[in-house]
């Protein structure tokens, strides 16, 4: 594993100074350098929105670091791809410790060679908080976008953020007060999910059904198993098991949302079950057209909230990961949908959650069936989720973050 493209020796870029001043004179600015570390698919998406806005006004900026397809499409020079960095859970991190140390070592060497003018760290706290210390010690300004969820667990990381991050840009309004209590001046820039959903094309439900050959009488049930292979292997078999149970009693078509970077056949997870009618489509189509959905906990629950989609949030992980996690995580609800809708410390839930051993096929089928059979409850859930969406609103968080970067360039 190595660099995608060789990094040569570049000239040190500086301002050219002249011994005179003129009303028409402006110093010649050589290209500036921005280091970006976005270790997940969602981070690549959010970082790409920022970089697109930045390059629109500052095409001279050279971007390098870690990212995915979207950053690469904007011309970023990537040493590692997000697909290589998709590691989750305590056990998986330990298993890949050698690789992660290698990445950190190479990123430090690259930063020493390139000497970026500013760094943009996006989410991915395990690695980014290590890099923030290194960057800070070199005197490189650190902008952290999508702050670590220290309000959920590992609150002690706040001290490192306070000591090493120059600008902390958060995407939930309640985070501002949390960080202020800990002596950190966080800035709420809005949530990028809202921004990205504004770009979605609009089609009618009838058009969607016609394109996929779905009759009008069939109820559409969404399946969103996650964006990582570990999540797929944990959640999709149970979701398909629930789909089989529901299909036995209802005229239902199941919309399976697929992350574009993952390649798998859903039939491998439900061999021989001919009752299930699956339509594979983008995740946002699942959220637009489903009556109710099973959603793996993560960013997808926030996106589903924005569509006002009645949902059942589910999550499973390995036994050891779960035992460690439940001792560290201090939240009463784990899904972002519930946290945004009902508040950080609330034990009430806007949407039901099935965690670990409860997240089985029978439990999923039962909760989805209850929502399908109770349109009043589903309607109230939809209304509450759409009202909660207003808490995320912002005209353009990507533009706001890019303007912060420009201040340091």
- Same CATH fold, 205-392 and 33-190+394-408? yes
pLDDT at residue 406 in the model? 96
Give the H/E segment covering residue 393.
none
pLDDT at residue 153 in the model? 63
CA-based max dimension of the chain = 84
pLDDT at residue 333 in the model? 79
Query: Quick one: CA torsion of 258, 261, 265, 266, rounded to 10 degrees?
Result: -30
Cα end-to-end span (Å), the chain? 32
- Whether the Cβ atoms of residue 192 and residue 49 lie closer than 8 Å to each other: yes
Q: Give CATH for domain 33-190+394-408.
A: 3.40.50.2000
pLDDT at residue 298 in the model? 85
Cα of 122 vs its chain's centroid, Å:
10
Residues in the chain: 409
Q: Give dist(CA 140, CA 197) in Å, integer.
A: 33
User: What is this structure's pTM?
Assistant: 0.76
Q: Give dist(CA 149, CA 159) in Å, integer.
A: 14
Residue 353, classed as helix, strand or coil, is strand
Residue 355, classed as helix, strand or coil, is strand
pLDDT at residue 94 in the model? 72
Q: Give dist(CA 184, CA 206) in Å, integer.
A: 50
Cα of 346 vs its chain's centroid, Å:
23
**C-alpha dist (Å) from residue 375 to 89, 140, 218, 224, 328:** 37, 55, 16, 21, 37
Which superfamily does 205-392 belong to? Glycogen Phosphorylase B; (3.40.50.2000)
Domain ranges of the chain: 33-190+394-408, 205-392
pLDDT at residue 247 in the model? 92
pLDDT along the chain (409 residues), means of 10: 33 33 44 93 93 96 96 96 74 74 95 97 92 97 92 80 96 90 92 78 82 93 89 91 92 89 70 78 93 93 94 87 66 83 79 93 97 96 93 83 95
């Amino acid at each position: 594993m190595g660099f995608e493209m060789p990094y040569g020796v570049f000239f040190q870029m500086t301002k050219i100074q002249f011994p005179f001043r003129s009303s028409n004179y402006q110093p010649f600015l050589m290209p500036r350098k921005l280091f970006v570390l976005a270790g997940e698919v969602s981070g690549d998406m959010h970082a790409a929105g920022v970089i697109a806005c930045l390059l629109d006004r500052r095409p001279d900026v050279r971007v390098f670091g870690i990212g995915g397809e979207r950053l690469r499409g904007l011309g970023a020079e990537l040493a590692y791809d997000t697909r290589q960095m998709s590691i989750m859970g305590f056990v998986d991190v330990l298993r890949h410790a050698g690789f992660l140390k290698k990445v950190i070592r190479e990123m430090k060497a690259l930063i020493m060679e390139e000497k970026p003018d500013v760094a943009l760290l996006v989410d991915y706290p395990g690695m980014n908080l290590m890099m923030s210390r290194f960057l800070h010690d070199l005197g490189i300004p650190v902008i952290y976008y999508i702050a670590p969820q220290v309000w959920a667990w590992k609150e002690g990381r706040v001290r490192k953020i306070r000591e090493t991050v120059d600008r902390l840009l958060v995407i939930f309004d309640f985070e501002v007060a949390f960080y202020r209590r800990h002596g950190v001046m966080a800035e709420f820039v809005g949530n990028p999910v809202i921004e990205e959903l504004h770009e979605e094309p609009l089609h009618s439900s009838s058009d969607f059904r016609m394109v996929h050959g779905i009759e009008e009488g069939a109820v559409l049930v969404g399946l969103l198993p996650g964006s990582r292979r570990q999540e797929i292997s944990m959640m999709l078999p149970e979701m398909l098991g629930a789909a089989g149970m529901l299909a036995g009693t209802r005229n239902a078509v199941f919309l399976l949302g697929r992350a574009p970077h993952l390649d798998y056949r859903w039939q491998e997870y439900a061999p021989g079950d001919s009752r299930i009618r699956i339509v594979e489509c983008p995740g946002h189509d699942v959220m637009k057209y489903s009556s109710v959905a099973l959603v793996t906990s993560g960013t997808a629950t926030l996106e589903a909230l924005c569509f006002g989609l009645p949902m059942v949030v589910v999550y499973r992980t390995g036994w050891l990961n779960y035992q460690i996690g439940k001792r560290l995580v201090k939240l009463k609800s784990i899904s972002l949908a519930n946290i945004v809708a009902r508040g950080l410390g609330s034990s009430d839930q806007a949407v039901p959650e099935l965690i670990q051993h409860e997240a089985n096929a029978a439990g999923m089928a039962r909760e989805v069936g209850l929502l399908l059979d109770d349109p009043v409850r589903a309607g109230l859930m939809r209304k509450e989720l759409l009202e909660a969406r207003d808490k995320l609103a912002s005209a353009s968080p990507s533009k706001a973050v890019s303007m912060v970067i420009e201040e340091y360039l």
